[in-house]
Every structure is written in C-alpha cells, then in structure tokens.
Amino acid sequence: NASNAASRGAFIVMEGMDRAGKTTQVGKLRHTLEEQGHKVKTIRFPDRTTPMGTMIDGYLQSKTEMADHAIHLLFSANRWEKAAWIKEQISQGYMILCDRYYYSGMVYSAAKKNPALSLEWARTPDVGLPRPDRVIFLDLNAAEAEKRGGYGEEKYEKREMQENARELFLGLAGRGEESSDMVVIDAGHSVEQVASAIWDEVMKVVKAVETVPRRELSV
Ligand code: 2DT
C-alpha cells in the first residue's frame, strides 16, 4: 500500500551481464513503480562520483593499475559509502532500484581466477551491508551480447572475463542467501517481454515488504 506512510520501501537490485539491458530495465521499472504511486530512487555501483569511485573509474579505464584484492576492497568500500543512505531511504518508504551490487563485486573479482581470491573471500567485506529484497539477474550469453553491438573498451569487457562472470553469476543461484534472493531472467527477449517478467517478480516483493523487515547480509 503505497499510501501507508509506515511501510518501508523495497531494495531491488538489477544484476546482469554487460549488454543485458540493466540500465534500460531499471528505467522502465522506475516508471512502472511511480505509476503505481511509489516513491523511487535509483542508484548504481560502482558510484563513480565519489573519491573512491574516481579511483575505480581510473582502474576500469586502464589508466591506473591495482592489485586484485585492493580494487576488490575499493568496490566494496564504494558500497559501504552508501549503506547508511540506502537504509535511511528504505525506512522513509522509498523503493531503491540499484544497478549492480555485491553480486557483481563477488563475481567479477572471482572471474579473474586469481587462486588467492575466491568467491567466498570476495563476499566477506560486504557482510553487514543492506541485504536486497530481490536480486534480478538478467542473463545473456556472450554470443547474444556480441550481437547487441559487442562490448565497450573497459577492462572487464572481454569475452573470457564475461564468460567466467556469467558462469559464476549462475552458480550463485545455488549459494546460501543468494539462492533465495536471486531470480534469473532470460534477457534474450524483447525489452517489453523482459520488463514484464521483471514486473511479475517485483510485484510480489512490493507486497511482501509490508510484513518482512529489512535485513543485512550475513556470513
Ligand atoms: P558498469 O559498466 O555497470 O559501470 O560496471 N564491477 C562492478 C566489479 O568488478 N565489482 C563491483 O563491485 C561492481 C559493482 C562490473 C563497471 C564494471 O565494474 C564491474 C563492470
């Protein structure tokens, strides 16, 4: 009930492969939620506008080099910078739509196949962050992504990295908290079809948050 001032907002994360249409779908979802009378705010990670975000941006554009663990912790710290704000907005009743979150954090770092940087290690610095009410993973295989105009110029926009990342993302469907939070949606359909599949999921969440308290990521 959007007019109930006491009800909290939902924290919805859009994850997915490059070219899967995350940004487009966040925009459409925002529009739909607003039409239904909800207050919505959108955020994205990395947030390149902060000092830490500037360092991340330099790394992604291959202007600077950083050790795998160091850049990983910077991505995580970039989420911690926003954690209090996210909690505050949710408690004020805002629907938070977030373009990438700690799932990308785990998966892209682990996709480097550095034996000292496992998926489990990668998750640890994010423990305690606001836990999403729903994570929508927009799945797209590398061949489809390349048909959509290929990848950009940034550091991780290489086929091998993308394939490793996709495999790890799909594997999260069987891991602890992620298995209950994440839903996989095939992004290989039209924008409208994908938007409608997303809405089916979000509709359920919007109802559920009236009774489910906000949670934090646990180990
Ligand atoms: P965009 O193209 O969406 O701006 O993402 N990434 C992202 C990580 O490696 N770790 C993280 O924690 C996050 C949030 C995924 C830029 C790239 O940054 C990667 C793609």
65-82: per-residue pLDDT in tens?
Answer: 999 999 999 999 999 999
Pocket probe for ligand 1: among 23, 44, 56, 60, the residue whose CB has the most ligand atoms within 8 Å is 60
The predicted structure's pLDDT at residue 5: 45
Q: Indicate whether residue 60 lines ligand 1 (CB < 6 A).
A: yes
> E strand or H helix at 186, and its extent?
strand 182-186
Ligand 1 closest atom vs CA 23: 3
**Is 117 exposed, middle or buried, given 0-12, 13-18 or 19+ CB atoms closer than 10 A?**
middle
CA of 41 to the centre of ligand 1 (A): 20
Bridge partners of residue 13, in order along the sequence: 98, 135
The predicted structure's pLDDT at residue 6: 61
Which pair of tokens denotes residue 37? 């009378």
**What Å distances lie between residue 218 and 88, 114, 120, 152, CA to CA?**
20, 24, 12, 34
Pocket probe for ligand 1: among 69, 99, 108, 158, the residue whose CB has the most ligand atoms within 8 Å is 108
Q: Indicate whether residue 46 lines ligand 1 (CB < 6 A).
A: yes
The predicted structure's pLDDT at residue 49: 98
pTM comes to 0.95
Atom 12, ligand 1: residue with shortest CA distance: 105
Atom 11, ligand 1: residue with shortest CA distance: 105
CA of 218 to the centre of ligand 1 (A): 22
The predicted structure's pLDDT at residue 153: 87
Please write down the long-range contacts of 107-110, taking CB distance under 8 Å and 24 or more positions apart.
107/165, 107/168, 107/169, 107/172, 108/156, 108/161, 108/165, 109/68, 109/71, 109/72, 109/75, 110/164, 110/168
Is residue 209 classed as helix, strand or coil in its secondary structure?
coil
CA of 46 to the centre of ligand 1 (A): 6
- Rounded Cα–Cα distance for residues 158 and 172 (Å): 21
Residue 159: which region, alpha, beta or left (left: phi > 0; alpha: psi -120 to 50)?
alpha
The ranges of the chain with pLDDT < 70 are: 1-6
